[in-house]
Amino acid sequence: ELKDLHVDAKFKMVSEYDTLCLNGGKKTKLRAGDIIGTFCKEIGIENAMIGKINITDTKSYIALHHTVVDKVFKALKKVKIKKKKYVAWIL
C-alpha cells in the first residue's frame, strides 16, 4: 500500500537517441544499407551511433545518438544518398 508519493518536479527524462526523418522511402528505392553507408562513409559517424531505421513508403525514420544528430543534419544538406538529395528534419 502506497501512503505517500513523492514527485520530483526537477526530474527530466532524456533519451540517448533522437529521430531524424528523411523525405524518401520505399517508393524512392531507399534502403537501410544506403542510409548507413552514407552516414558512415560520407559523413563519418560510427555505425554504433545509428539505432533503429524504419522505412515507410514515403519517409525514413532514423534513430541517431543525440551527440551526432546535428552533424548528420547539417551534412545532409550537402551529401547525396544514391545520387539524390533528401530533405531531412529532426523530430
Per-residue model confidence as pLDDT tens digits over 20-52: 999 999 999 999 999 999 999 999 999 999 999
CA distances from 29 to 43, 50, 68, 70 (A): 21, 20, 25, 25
Question: Would you place residue 2 in the very low, low, confident or very high pLDDT band (cuts 50, 70, 90)?
Answer: low
In a domain, 33, yes or no: yes
In a domain, 52, yes or no: yes
d(CA 68, CA 50): 9
Judged against a pLDDT cut of 70, whether residue 1 lies above it is answered with: no
Residue 3: the pLDDT is 73
Domain residues for the domain of 45 are 17-90
In a domain, 29, yes or no: yes
**Domain at 24, CATH number:** 3.30.70.330
Residue for grid cell 526523418 = 21
Q: Into how many domains does the chain fold?
A: 1
In a domain, 10, yes or no: no
In a domain, 27, yes or no: yes
Residue 11: the pLDDT is 83
